[in-house]
Amino acid sequence: MFKLKRTINDLGGGPAGSNELTTRLVMQALADNADMIVMPDIVWGFKTTKADAATSQLKRLEVLLKLVTQTQPMLADAVTRRKVPGGEVVTLTIDGAMIPWGGILGSQEGVAEEDLEKVRRALGNLDFAISFGLVGDRVVLSIGDSSEHLDKLVAPAGGAGLSSTKPFEPLREHNGERITAISYMSEALARAVAPSTEDIDQLAKLADTLADSADLPEGAAREARAMLERISAGYKRRLPEPGPALGYAFLTDKGYEGFTWDWSKNGVLDGSKRLDLLEHTGGAPLASLVMRTKPHPDQFDDFVSWGKMGWDFALKYLLPKADEDARERFEETQRQFAPLAERLVTVLREKFIPSLADGQVAFVIDGKSTVARLHRDVPAAAEPLPLVEPAVALRLSDAKLFRAGLSDLFELADDFVDLIRSLNPGSVPEGYRIPDPEKSDIEGGALWVFSLERTGIDGQISPSIAISDSTAVFSLVPKQAGRMLAATQQRTGAPLATFGEPLAGAAALDVAGLVDVVEPWLLYFFRVGMLQQRNGFVDGSSVAGPDLDEGQFKDGITAMGVIFDALRCIRMAVAETSTKSDATVVHWRNLIQDLPAEPK
């Protein structure tokens, strides 16, 4: 397979090939869009209470710059001072033609010299302006092609500024709050930075370059272009339409609260109904994220089609470049695995996708179980350690179909093991089968547990699947799977959110509880390190306890405790995502409790 691997590396799969190909693609894209290369306008502003001092420093910087630039005739007029609404700025302007772009952008392998020259000319036609000054009570620093954009910082008297536009309407409703942060993205900028079909169209235009660099036969570029154009057409149907976005936060009596508004369209979140999976997060987990999406009806088929197109392209144009022996072995492996891949696609299309049509999914982290040691060969902890319990829950539209899909997957896994054994005898022990899970009835449904007893891992840890008529839970801890399957309304531990209204997403993070889980584990790992240092080894008969806390290590534990106490001040954080008529809104809140004052 060496020659095939080398061919893939030549296409950019290897480290060196990847860097060279990326450089060629970037330079070619710049050359194809040379007329669109501009110097972006960027402004930083810093509030000052000492305007006189800022003005004095501005004059000193101006004098210093003039002393430097006047020694160079080409920079004699580079420093200017001008008034802008609300203040004045000093600007250093450098003509792009003065920069040696020929040396910076030298010859690039795979990029035509005339294309490189287009980029050099475009950069040479730019001006690079650095401005600094005082506008109102703000010290500003700006980078752009001039300082003219600073004229827009202050709205004219009686004029309509940015805050009067439609995206700022939600913020105007909170004028009385103690605002701590505001962020805004215009629709124009959102469109500029968002993924678009033009990204793939650009790749389609570079199909010839890719084919040439990989030394592919005639016709490969044409097929690659057609393939990328089909992907672009499918991508376009489900691509979000960018819109403006606004975010702001303010201080409350309990902590901080804020909103983000996004006016993009054609998103994937569905906020038309209540999130039923909020009743299947285990009551009060350490962290949870529940959402409902609305997948495009033909999205899966598109992905399968795109994958098949790419695979067929590789078989047709890349595989023939490998040596005969490698090619024969690859073709035989492909022939054996193809039926399994087709069966997997059928199971996903006909059983899992229909059974999960509701679109709800929940990601949960909990820590209600404890262990003395994770594995029999590692030291035990003097005190039980909280077990981190990750899990995923899915809302079922058809539980019977979902169970049938799982059965098909288990059967497919057994066939996969048999195939591996036949292709490489000895890689899998003769007669080995994936162990069947143990089934038990639990509240609300049934539980399947895959035992890990032979591995030496603590018995509480066993991959498990809990299924009811409406919910499926995947967890590494059977107790958690059963706890999540039983319907229990989620509690946040603080009166921050009820998660009752129709929502597209809901998230909760018990920060203090998470710290309570992390702290003993860090302490345990430090103590295991001390055992290793003191005894030269660690084993399952050792105990990592407080008797190891001595010297600098004890001081470190004390300092670590102070840090964790400070982190516990952030008690809880929650967020709710809803879909309004024309926007997606995230409303978040947190609860902060200061440390008690030390007695005087």
CA distance 180 to 185: 18
* Mean pLDDT computed over 504-519: 94
| Residues near 430 by beta carbon (within 8 Å), at least 6 away in sequence | 421
Q: What was the pLDDT predicted at 340?
A: 92
Amino acid identity of 17?
G
Secondary structure, 3-state, 13-50: CCHHHHHHHHHHHHHHHHHHCHHHCCCCCEEEEEECCC
Secondary structure (3-state) at 571: strand
Q: What was the pLDDT predicted at 600?
A: 65
CA distance 90 to 93: 10
Highest mean pLDDT, choosing among 1-15, 87-101, 544-558: 87-101
Structure tokens at 548: 């190891």
Phi, psi of 209 (to 5 degrees): -65, -45
The enclosing H or E element of 119 equals: helix 113-124
Strand 380-381 and strand 389-395: the pairing is unpaired
CA distance 46 to 508: 34
Q: What was the pLDDT predicted at 15?
A: 46
**Lowest-confidence range among 8-12, 64-68, 292-296, 498-502?**
8-12
* Mean pLDDT computed over 358-380: 93
Highest mean pLDDT, choosing among 152-166, 434-448, 494-508: 434-448
**Regarding predicted confidence, which is higher, 460 or 319?**
460
Structure tokens at 235: 């991508």
Residue 179 pLDDT exceeds 90: yes
The enclosing H or E element of 114 equals: helix 113-124
| Residues near 170 by beta carbon (within 8 Å), at least 6 away in sequence | 246, 248, 259, 261, 585
Distances (CA, A) of 285 to 224, 519, 595: 48, 17, 24
Residue 212 pLDDT exceeds 80: no
Cβ(447)–Cβ(466) below 8 Å: yes
Structure tokens at 541: 């008969």
Residue 142 pLDDT exceeds 50: yes
Q: What was the pLDDT predicted at 563?
A: 92
Q: Tell me the Ramachandran region of residue 212: left when phi exceeds 0, alpha when psi lies from -120 to 50, beta otherwise.
A: alpha
Q: For the purposes of burial, counting CB atoms within 10 Å of the CB of 81, is it exposed (0-12), middle (13-18) or buried (19 or more)?
A: middle
Q: What was the pLDDT predicted at 581?
A: 81
CA distance 571 to 589: 11
239-284 per-position pLDDT tens digit: 888 999 999 999 999 999 999 999 998 888 999 999 999 999 998 9
19-44 per-position pLDDT tens digit: 666 777 778 778 888 888 889 899 99
Among candidate residues 551, 534, 561, the one with its CA nearest the CA of residue 379: 534
To 10 degrees, the CA torsion angle through 408, 410, 412, 417?
Answer: -170
Q: What was the pLDDT predicted at 332?
A: 83
Q: What was the pLDDT predicted at 419?
A: 85
CA distance 542 to 380: 6
Q: What was the pLDDT predicted at 590?
A: 93
Q: What was the pLDDT predicted at 20?
A: 67
* Mean pLDDT computed over 454-482: 94
* Mean pLDDT computed over 157-168: 78
**In the chain, what percentage of residues exceed pLDDT 70?**
92
Distances (CA, A) of 551 to 526, 556, 559: 13, 9, 13
Structure tokens at 93: 């302007």
Phi, psi of 293 (to 5 degrees): -115, 160
Global pTM?
0.82
To 10 degrees, the CA torsion angle through 517, 521, 522, 523?
Answer: 110
Greatest distance between any 2 Cα atoms in the chain: 88
Residue 10 pLDDT exceeds 60: no
Residue 364 pLDDT exceeds 90: yes
Q: What was the pLDDT predicted at 280?
A: 95
| Residues near 445 by beta carbon (within 8 Å), at least 6 away in sequence | 466, 467, 468, 469, 471, 485
User: Sorting pLDDT into bands at 50, 70 and 90, what band is 18?
Assistant: low
β-pair partners for 127: 95
Structure tokens at 465: 């699947």
**Lowest-confidence range among 1-5, 188-192, 465-469, 554-558?**
1-5
Q: Tell me the Ramachandran region of residue 255: left when phi exceeds 0, alpha when psi lies from -120 to 50, beta otherwise.
A: left
Q: For the purposes of burial, counting CB atoms within 10 Å of the CB of 195, is it exposed (0-12), middle (13-18) or buried (19 or more)?
A: exposed
If you search the block for the tokens 């998470």, which residue do you land on?
Answer: 514
**In the chain, what percentage of residues exceed pLDDT 90?**
44
Residue 6 pLDDT exceeds 60: no
CA distance 596 to 7: 65
Residue 221 pLDDT exceeds 80: no
| Residues near 523 by beta carbon (within 8 Å), at least 6 away in sequence | 557, 560
Cβ(446)–Cβ(485) below 8 Å: no
Residues comprising the chain, all counted: 600
Q: What was the pLDDT predicted at 2?
A: 31
400-423 per-position pLDDT tens digit: 999 999 999 999 988 888 888 887
